[in-house]
């Protein structure tokens, strides 16, 4: 199964301010990566780079950030192009999504993912052919 993993879940894995959440995400991500085709987008890479360099305590070093980005680039990465932006605009209107959420959802839809894992869209929501699942629920 093809799945899209939103930025926040990768960030929680790296954030040591909440060790239990970080460990839970570590185990969950290991299982997902082992059992599914994982897809991300250029937006996920950009957002995660920003988070790990500015918001984590302590922030990751430049070398650690480069290694992280290289590792994530090993997954299928959906590029944000003009057509994705235009379609995301329509999706944002139709589904009443924030702009950045619409870009994530459109990338997941375009890449033929069945599931979008995120905590930002509402657990159990369906957007086009995409099921939204928040793995932190429960």
**CA 118 distance to own-chain centroid:** 7
Q: Where are the domains of the chain?
A: 2-133
Model-level pTM?
0.94
Per-residue pLDDT of the chain (138 residues; tens, 9 = 90+): 999 999 999 999 999 888 999 999 999 999 999 999 999 999 999 999 999 998 887 788 999 999 999 999 999 999 999 999 999 999 999 999 999 999 999 999 999 999 999 998 889 999 999 999 999 985
Alpha-carbon 122 to chain mean position: 14
Looking at residue 138, what is its pLDDT?
A: 57
Predicted local distance difference test score (pLDDT) of residue 50:
94
Distance between CA atoms of residues 49 and 44, nearest Å = 8
Instruction: Report whether 127 contacts 116 (CB < 8 A).
Output: yes
DSSP, collapsed to helix, strand or coil, labels residue 87 as helix
Three-state SS at 126: strand
**Superfamily classification of domain 2-133:** 5'-nuclease (3.40.50.1010)
């Amino acid at each position: 199964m093809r799945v899209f993993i939103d930025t926040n879940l990768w960030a929680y894995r790296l954030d040591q301010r909440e060790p239990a959440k970080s460990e839970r995400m570590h185990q969950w991500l290991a299982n997902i990566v082992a059992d599914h085709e994982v897809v991300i987008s250029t937006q996920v890479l950009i957002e995660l780079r920003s988070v790990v360099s500015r918001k984590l305590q302590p922030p990751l070093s430049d070398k650690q950030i480069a290694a992280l980005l290289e590792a994530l680039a090993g997954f299928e990465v959906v590029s944000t192009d003009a057509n994705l932006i235009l379609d995301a605009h329509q999706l944002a209107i139709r589904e009443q999504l924030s702009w950045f959420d619409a870009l994530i959802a459109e990338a997941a839809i375009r890449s033929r993912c069945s599931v979008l894992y995120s905590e930002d869209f509402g657990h159990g929501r369906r957007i086009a052919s995409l099921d939204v699942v928040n793995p932190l629920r429960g």
